[in-house]
Chains A and B, each alone.
Chain A
Amino acid sequence: MDITTKHTEAPPPAAQAPAGTEQKRAARGATRPGDRIFLGLSRGSGIFLLVIMAAIAVFLTYRASLAISKDEANFLTAFEWNTGVIPPRFGIAVLAFGTIVSSIVAMVIAVPIAVAIALFLTHYAPRKLRGPIAYVIDLLAAVPSIVYGLWGALILVPHMDGLFGWLNDYLGWTGVFSWEGGAPRSMLTVGILLAIMILPVITNVSREVFRQAPQMIEEAALALGATRWEVIRMAVLPFGRSGVISASMLGLGRALGETMAVATVLSPTFDIQTSLLDPGGGTFAQNIASKFGEATEFGRDALIASGLVLFVITLLVNGAARAIIARRKEYSGANA
């Protein structure tokens, strides 16, 4: 260690010549045709991605700025979406609320179930069952979202009355679960549907992470007299923590952006329901999908502005997740 650092800081004269040619060779990079082609392809793909991202950002920002500059209401706080009238008045408060609430409901339901399924598949299920169950979960991920939407509207919504009544009876006093008896096309129904949709991705990534929990750490726990659940708590869950967070963020990304399933199930209104059970509200993606078809040029710009906000929210969520993962990096088990 010492020797190498000395060399790089102050190379003795004798060592300078060979080091020089070494550097030259490294600087010239790939010399064989195959290497050059691959370097070009991979570097090109990287640059291409950045260019696309920049182009999307510029496009969204430009079109959004056209709309927001003419908005007579407060874009962030207004509870209305009237882009066809003069002067136009629209704001994203309802959409932001609906998007975040439905995603939180989905996460609260999906993450524990997904983690439980992943643990069952990696640590409890008999070997013969693991394959088929994993396959079924993969199938769940392959169902198109419009099919979920139709299932939600035709099957889920008509069967929610019992649950809603029960929640209203026992938890109605909280206000969050009170129900006035409207059609159950509400944020809770949307959240449940989203939970089912994001379950596979969270399960699959978590399963992969749990499977990689090192055997020797699990044996350490076993040898201390840990039961199976204690092994999971001591050696598997802490190791898989950052992976589960990443998995959840993947799921959250899908929940935030889900369009067709929400648009099919929700009965959209432009106000905020304090209860999860009362119908109404809206999400960014659902609002864009429902309004884009008949929107004027200006109306589309306004919708793009709302899309930009969704983009920013997704970025913030991802940043937060990275921060959580990085905070306890030295304990992450990556250096085990």
Chain B
Amino acid sequence: MAKRIDVSGLTAYYGSHKAIEDISMTVEPRSVTAFIGPSGCGKSTFLRTLNRMHEVTSGGRVEGKVLLDDEDLYGHGIDPVSVRREVGMVFQRPNPFPTMSIFDNVAAGLRLNGSYKKSELSDIVEKSLKGANLWNEVKDRLNKPGSGLSGGQQQRLCIARAIAVEPNVLLMDEPCSALDPISTLAIEDLIGELKERFTIVIVTHNMQQAARVSDRTAFFNLAAVGQPGKLIEIDDTERIFSNPSVQATEDYISGRFG
């Protein structure tokens, strides 16, 4: 079940350092939203506030609201653990559990959420690996360690692991930045398929990638080093890359940044 994300007035801190300030946006269900912007502009921090991974870092805290449909992720009595079960995440560097087999990697999230029969588990693992376009490459070695796969395969394994628990939202933090162009293409195709089922938010440094995969694009920027990052604008991707309404956005995407 894809859900809508509704952020209003979100400010995030690391200790006393304000990392992002006053961000509001809406992300529609079954769409891909790309975050672009220079390094340090807070786009990854913002992404991590959407599944409360931000507060894992010591001193991390947040002001403002993040609504998932109508539920405030930061509301009273909301357990960050249950938030992360609803909002999946894929990281910059592929991070399959090195001590687990491919099968166990995909099943890891399911085993956290409850007990499944062996046959049910195999079905979901197969479905998830197929969903991540990895099934044909690994079906004969499901019991081999996931760390033996190539980087691109590992990243698709991580995507399979994330979608196995059927999250409402899938967050991707520069999922292709450690991958070669062919693996990148495979992931981008996959994102196109996954948006039929999930709400997807992707952080990327690659503007062509943002243009290729996303429906909407958000541009983040910071006034100076040490200043909090801000959302400059969010609009349809086509419009951002052809006729943005803010001059800074145009400067950034056309390479005349700074």
Contacts and interface: CB of A to CB of B under 8 A. Distances in A.
Contacts of A127: 58
Q: How extensive is the interface on chain B, given as a class?
A: 20 to 34
Interface stretch (A95-103, A143-151, A193-201, A232-240): A232-240
Interface in A221-260: 221-227, 230, 234-235, 238-239, 241
A332 B99 CA distance: 6
Contacts of B165: 224-225
B53 A227 contact: no
A220 interface: yes
A216 B53 contact: no
A127 B8 CA distance: 33
A230 B158 CA distance: 18
Interface string B75-93: 0000001111110110101
B145 A216 contact: no
B97 A220 contact: yes
Contact of A225 (B91, B98, B109): B109
Contacts of A333: 98-99, 147
A226 B97 contact: no
A204 to B, nearest CB: 23
A336 B95 CA distance: 8
B53 A220 contact: no
Contacts of A222: 53, 56, 84
A313 interface: no
Given A227-B81, A234-B97, A335-B98, A330 B148 contact: yes
Given A219-B53, A234-B108, A224 B98 contact: no
Which 5 pairs, one residue from A and one from B, show the smallest C-beta to C-beta distance?
A225-B85, A238-B99, A223-B89, A333-B98, A336-B98
Given A223-B88, A332-B99, 11 more contacts: A217-B95, A220-B97, A223-B162, A224-B108, A224-B161, A234-B100, A234-B108, A235-B97, A330-B145, A335-B98, A336-B147
